[in-house]
C-alpha cells in the first residue's frame, strides 16, 4: 500500500526541468519536452527559439514549466531574453507578464 501512495504522490508532482547546457536547452528529465535557446550578444542574451512538447504530454503545463526554467536561469545569470518562439511570445508572456522585464528590445528580435 505504501508503494501505491508513493506512486500517486510522484505522479502529482510537477516534472523536474533540467538545464542541458551542451544541447542549449532546458528539458524534462526524460528528454521528451524541451525549449531550445541560442546565446547571442556576446553571451548577454538568451534567444528562446523553439519549444516542443510531445502530443502525449500536451495539456500538462510542461511548456510553461520549461519557459519558467529558462526565464529563471536568465534572471539569475543577468541575461535578457528574445522570445523568438511563438509559444513564448504569444502564449507564455501574455499569461505571465511578470517576466516581461527580462525581454530584450524588440529591435534586436526583428534584426536577427
Query: Is residue 85 flagged as an active site residue?
Result: yes
Across 23-45, b (16+ Cβ under 10 Å) vs e yields ebbbbbeeeebbbbbeebeeeeb
Residue 20's beta-bridge partner residues?
Answer: 25
> Active-site residue among 65, 69, 85, 93?
85
Closest CA to 37 of 26, 76, 73, 28: 26
SS3 (DSSP) at 45: strand
Q: Which residue has the cell 504522490?
A: 9
- Do residues 46 and 39 lie in contact, with contact meaning Cβ atoms separated by under 8 Å? yes
* Local confidence pLDDT in tens for the 112 residues of the chain: 444 444 444 456 888 999 999 999 999 999 999 999 999 999 999 999 999 999 999 999 999 999 999 999 999 999 999 999 999 999 999 999 999 999 997 534 444 4
Amino acid at each position: 500500500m505504501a508503494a501505491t501512495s508513493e506512486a500517486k504522490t510522484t505522479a502529482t508532482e510537477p516534472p523536474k526541468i533540467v538545464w542541458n547546457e551542451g544541447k542549449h536547452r532546458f528539458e524534462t528529465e526524460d528528454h521528451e519536452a524541451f525549449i531550445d535557446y541560442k546565446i547571442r550578444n556576446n553571451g548577454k542574451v538568451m534567444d528562446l527559439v523553439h519549444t516542443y512538447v510531445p502530443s502525449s504530454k500536451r495539456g500538462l503545463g510542461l511548456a510553461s514549466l520549461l519557459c519558467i526554467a529558462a526565464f529563471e536561469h536568465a534572471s539569475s545569470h543577468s541575461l535578457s531574453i528574445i522570445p523568438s518562439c511563438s509559444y513564448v511570445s504569444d502564449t507564455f508572456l501574455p499569461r505571465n507578464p511578470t517576466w516581461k522585464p527580462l525581454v530584450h528590445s524588440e529591435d534586436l528580435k526583428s534584426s536577427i
